[in-house]
Structure 1
Amino acid sequence: MPDPVDTLKVSDLPLEDLVACHECDLLMRKPVLALGEKAQCPRCGYELYAHRHSVVERSLALVLAALLLYIPANFLPIMQLNLLGQSSEDTVWSGVVGLFDTGMQGVAAVVFLCSMGIPLLKLLCQLAVLLSIRWRIGRSYGLLLYRIYHHLKDWGMLEVYLMGVLVAIVKLADMASITIGLGLICFVSLLMVQVLLEVVMSPHQIWQALSGEDDHAGD
């Protein structure tokens, strides 16, 4: 665990040697971690950062998997609804188009951005950042894209859309015959891959690699 810093001595230490807990704001000396180790706040136990193995390679694999899942998750049928002899197949994209065609253009735009546009932009930003580290080129652009990615994190709401789909399935289950489509399986898989990517892609190591402090983020 890192050592708390006496407030009277803070001015004597360079900023790069300090770290603050995001939960309780305790100021500490930044510890040097070996591979596989993680730093925790001695006061509240919050994980400050970790030094994980093969961050870039593992993150690249997950980003590519997410991009491969993106198209089927959004354009394959999420469910097939049979009601009073009428059958329809719904996808994420058809939901956006349906909202637009019924005069709710604003809602359609929000759904498109939060369920399709921003998640794709986040993945592309992550891909560009990881490639800039892996190939050691364009790190200044990588820094910019990683900042953009962090601003976009709160706007990609795949889990909210998934909850909406699940609520619709539960409510319609007694009224119609519902068949789960391959699109829903891909959509859930995409969400799980993105959650795992958030865990694997250690922000501390990515920032260090982009700033040139750590050229071994892929080790």
Structure 2
Amino acid sequence: MPNPVDPEVLAQLPLDELVACHECDLLLRKPPLQHDEKALCPRCGYELYAHRHNVVNRSLALVLTALLLYIPANFLPIMQLHLLGQTSDDTVWSGVLGLYNSQMHLIAVVVFLCSMAIPLLKLLCQLLVLLSIRLNIGRSYGLLCYRIYHHLREWGMLEVYFMGVLVAIVKLVDLAQLTVGLGLFCFISLLLVQVWLEVVMSPHQIWVALSGEDVHAGD
């Protein structure tokens, strides 16, 4: 945990040696970190940044896993509904089409963007960022993609859609026979992989690596 430094001393330090807490705005001198260490704000306890091991390779593995899970999570049946002799397979995509065909066009567009389009765009941005670092090419495009990714973070709402699926299952279980499909397990796996990716892909290390300062980003 970094110690507060006298304001007069801070004023004389270069900007790349300073870090501000995102929660309480306390300005601190960056402490040197070893692998798997993290810096915490001494005032509020917020994690300022971390130095995680082998960030780029681990993040690449998770991004590729998430991309492989994307298609089955969205196009395989999440649940099978049996009612009055009728059977229907419900997927994320069929839910979007159902809303659109029910004349709820705006809601269908919002669901499509938040549950399918934006999560995919986020993964593609992360992939391009990591490849630009791993292959040491196109760092300027990597910076652009990472900025786009940060603007999209609040719009990808897989967890909200997942909660909607759980609510639907609870409400329908007494009205019809439900069978959980493989798509639900893929969807849950995709959600967990993305959460894990958020933890592993240390923003501080990625920004430093994209700026060309960190030659050990893949360590």
Of the structure 1 ranges 19-28 and 59-68, higher mean CA displacement relative to structure 2 is found in 19-28
- Contact (CA 8 Å) 2:10, 2:29: kept in 1 or not? no
Of the structure 1 ranges 125-134 and 23-32, higher mean CA displacement relative to structure 2 is found in 23-32
How big is each residue's C-alpha offset from its partner over 1:82-102, in whole Å with a ceiling of 9 and x where there is no partner?
112111110000111111111
> Which one-letter code corresponds to 2:58 in the other structure?
R
> Which one-letter code corresponds to 1:100 in the other structure?
Y
Q: Which residue of 2 aligns with 1:184?
A: 184
Distance in 2, matches of 1:168 and 1:5, equals: 54
> Which one-letter code corresponds to 1:52 in the other structure?
R
Distance in 1, matches of 2:87 and 2:140, equals: 52
Distance in 1, matches of 2:55 and 2:10, equals: 32
How big is each residue's C-alpha offset from its partner over 1:138-177, in whole Å with a ceiling of 9 and x where there is no partner?
0011001000000000000000000000000000111110
**1:148 has 2:139 as partner:** no
> SS state of the match for residue 192, structure 2?
helix
Q: State the Cα distance separating 1:29 from its structure 2 match.
A: 0.4
Q: Which residue of 2 aligns with 1:77?
A: 77
Q: Which residue of 2 aligns with 1:65?
A: 65
Alignment of 1:47-58 (within 5 A): 47-58=47-58
Alignment of 1:1-219 (within 5 A): 1-219=1-219
- Contact (CA 8 Å) 2:115, 2:158: kept in 1 or not? yes
> SS state of the match for residue 213, structure 1?
coil
Q: State the Cα distance separating 1:77 from its structure 2 match.
A: 0.3
Q: State the Cα distance separating 1:8 from its structure 2 match.
A: 3.0
Q: State the Cα distance separating 1:5 from its structure 2 match.
A: 2.5
> SS state of the match for residue 164, structure 2?
helix
Distance in 2, matches of 1:36 and 1:88, equals: 48
> Which one-letter code corresponds to 1:111 in the other structure?
V
Distance in 1, matches of 2:37 and 2:10, equals: 25
Q: How does the TM-score come out when normalised to structure 2?
A: 0.98
Distance in 2, matches of 1:41 and 1:111, equals: 37
User: Where has structure 1 moved over 4 Å in runs of 4 or more?
Assistant: none
- Contact (CA 8 Å) 2:74, 2:93: kept in 1 or not? yes
Distance in 2, matches of 1:40 and 1:10, equals: 18
Distance in 1, matches of 2:27 and 2:46, equals: 13
Q: State the Cα distance separating 1:10 from its structure 2 match.
A: 2.9
> SS state of the match for residue 216, structure 2?
coil
Q: State the Cα distance separating 1:46 from its structure 2 match.
A: 1.5
> SS state of the match for residue 70, structure 1?
helix
Q: State the Cα distance separating 1:9 from its structure 2 match.
A: 3.1
> SS state of the match for residue 49, structure 1?
strand
- Contact (CA 8 Å) 2:96, 2:108: kept in 1 or not? yes
Distance in 2, matches of 1:211 and 1:3, equals: 27
Structure 1: tracts of 5 or more residues without a match? none
> Which one-letter code corresponds to 2:77 in the other structure?
P
Distance in 2, matches of 1:50 and 1:157, equals: 25
How big is each residue's C-alpha offset from its partner over 1:96-142, in whole Å with a ceiling of 9 and x where there is no partner?
11111111111111000000000000000000000000000000110
- What's the Cα RMSD here? 0.9
Distance in 1, matches of 2:167 and 2:28, equals: 45
